């Protein structure tokens, strides 16, 4: 079985397990690590993902993988994790989950815009850009990236 086919089978196997726990499967990655492989399963939800949830769902994911032949005979290490701050915002749910965050968005027709996500739904995203709301359809945005803020202005916090 090819690498892409294996990843697709793993995703098909795990999506219902994760959906039952109220989680979305964001990514599956299988990489060699010496004599083993590392299977990284990235999960998220509208409410975020805490360590307790990761621990609970890790057992369910492990059980599903053990009951299947999808991983073959070679040993592997399972890592279930949430997406990091550097995950690109490409899906409507990513934007929705970034409400209140400062993002830099690449526009589909070129250029960039930086603003705070004030609203997001299946139709588009509204950013506060220098105090002015700007609404973009998802098709107008190539991708976005959350900007790390070490110190946020008190005025911005009061406005939220």
Q: What would the DSSP string read from start to end of 25-91? A: EEEEEEEEETTEEEEEEEEE-TT---HHHHHHHHHHHHHHHHTSSTT-SS-EEEEEE---TT--B-S
Model confidence at 31: pLDDT above 80: yes
**pLDDT number for residue 158:** 47
The label of the residue with tokens 């073959």 reads 72
Q: Please state the rounded mean pLDDT for residues 49-63.
A: 91
Q: Please state the rounded mean pLDDT for residues 126-141.
A: 94
**CATH number at 92-159:** 2.30.30.100
- Taking the domains of the chain in order of start, what are their residue ranges? 3-81, 92-159
Q: Strand 36-44 vs strand 76-81: parallel, antiparallel, or unpaired?
A: parallel
Distance CA 22, CA 46 (A): 9
Q: How many helices and strands in the chain, by DSSP H and E?
A: 4, 8
**pLDDT number for residue 58:** 94
pTM: 0.73
3-81 carries CATH number 2.60.120.380: no
**pLDDT number for residue 153:** 63
Q: Whole-number mean pLDDT of the chain? A: 89
Model confidence at 20: pLDDT above 80: yes
Tell me whether residue 134 is exposed, middle or buried, using C-beta atoms within 10 angstroms of its C-beta: 0 to 12, 13 to 18, 19 or more. middle
**pLDDT number for residue 47:** 82
For residues 50 and 44, the answer to whether their CB atoms sit within 8 Å is no
**pLDDT number for residue 106:** 93
How far, in Å, are 10, 19, 77, 131 from residue 71 at the CA level? 8, 21, 11, 51
Say if 3-81 and 92-159 have the same CATH topology: no
The label of the residue with tokens 């899906």 reads 91
User: What token pair was written down for 121?
Assistant: 């739904």
Distance CA 115, CA 130 (A): 7
């Amino acid at each position: 079985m090819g690498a892409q086919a294996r990843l697709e089978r793993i995703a098909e196997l795990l999506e219902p397990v994760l959906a039952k726990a109220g989680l979305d499967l964001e990514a599956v990655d299988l990489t060699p690590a010496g004599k083993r492989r590392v299977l990284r399963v990235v999960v998220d939800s509208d409410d975020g993902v805490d360590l307790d949830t990761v621990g609970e769902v890790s057992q369910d994911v492990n059980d599903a993988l053990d009951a299947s032949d999808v991983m073959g005979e070679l040993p592997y290490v399972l890592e279930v994790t949430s997406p990091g701050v550097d995950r690109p915002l490409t899906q409507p749910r990513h934007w929705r989950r970034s409400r209140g965050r400062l993002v830099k968005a690449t526009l589909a027709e070129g250029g960039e815009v930086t603003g705070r996500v004030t609203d997001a739904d299946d139709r588009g995203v509204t950013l506060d850009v220098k105090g002015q709301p700007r609404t973009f359809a998802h098709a107008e945005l190539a991708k976005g990236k959350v900007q790390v803020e070490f110190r946020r202005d008190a005025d911005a916090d009061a406005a939220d």
